Amino acid sequence: MIKQKWLISAACFLSAHAFADGLLNNPVVNGQKVITLSAGPAWYSSGSTQTVTLQPDVLKTYIGDSETRVLGTAEVFFGIQCLLTNQIYSQFGIAAAYAGNAKLRGDVLEDGDPNFNNFVYRYQLNHGRVGLKGKLLGDFGYWVTPYLSGSVAVAFNHSFDWSLTPKIFEEVPAPPFASNTTTAFAYTVGAGLQAPLNKHWQLGLGYEFADLGKSQLGAAIGQSVNDRFKETHLYTHQLQFSATYLL
């Protein structure tokens, strides 16, 4: 019985050792093609304050709430792997990403007067982008590989579904802002860890900060002044799960 236990223990140790060797002995191939699929939740908030002039003598101040909300994000990356040193290598290529509908809301001050806070505004924003992305990875002989990432992209931010809800029933809401798609600059920076399953597949877990860029609604019906409701930036903090395939 004791001998059998020793044999089982030895077999388990050798199997684990062989598995570790299999993971650690996958050399980085210069010029190898890479496909990575990433997804995860992203947290955001919109606390900006702005004043929009609707008519020469009519203005409203919009105060975004600071509540943190969550949306879903996904990205696909196509790149090429380049060996920089015997321990450091990079992956560089094209990335396309999408973020689900961000729900933004806040209070409306008539004529910018806090005494006339009679409406709550709501609208939605979805985001897509295409750009260049790079990753810097370190192969230090461990089971996991740390990485840093960054990207710059052209973003397409679609603002839609604007509505005003009166806080008192006597108030009549103004005409809504029109839906609009804005082309903007976006960027991301991130860090995380990757672990190989075999010579082709790797799984990763990381954090990514993103600036989704500028967004802007269209003019309201009857608006005579060329002033728009807009967000200069929308920042997200994403928990990113990834699967990488090396061709």
Express each pLDDT in 135-175 by its tens digit. Answer: 999 988 888 999 999 999 999 999 999 999 999 887 788 88
Bridge partners of 80, per DSSP, are 33, 92
**Does the 29-246 domain belong in CATH 3.90.1010.10?**
no
Instruction: Give the pLDDT score at 38.
Output: 98
Instruction: Give the pLDDT score at 23.
Output: 45
Distance CA(219)–CA(55), nearest Å, equals 11
For the cut 70, the answer to whether the pLDDT of residue 192 exceeds it is yes
Q: Are 182 and 215 in contact (CB under 8 A)?
A: yes
Instruction: Give the pLDDT score at 25.
Output: 53
82-139, pLDDT tens digit by residue?
Answer: 999 988 999 999 999 999 999 999 999 988 888 899 999 999 999 999 999 999 999 8
What is this structure's pTM? 0.83
More confident residue, 180 or 114: 180
Burial profile 116-147: b = 16 or more Cβ within 10 angstroms, e = fewer? eebbebebbbbbbbebebbbbbebeeeebbeb
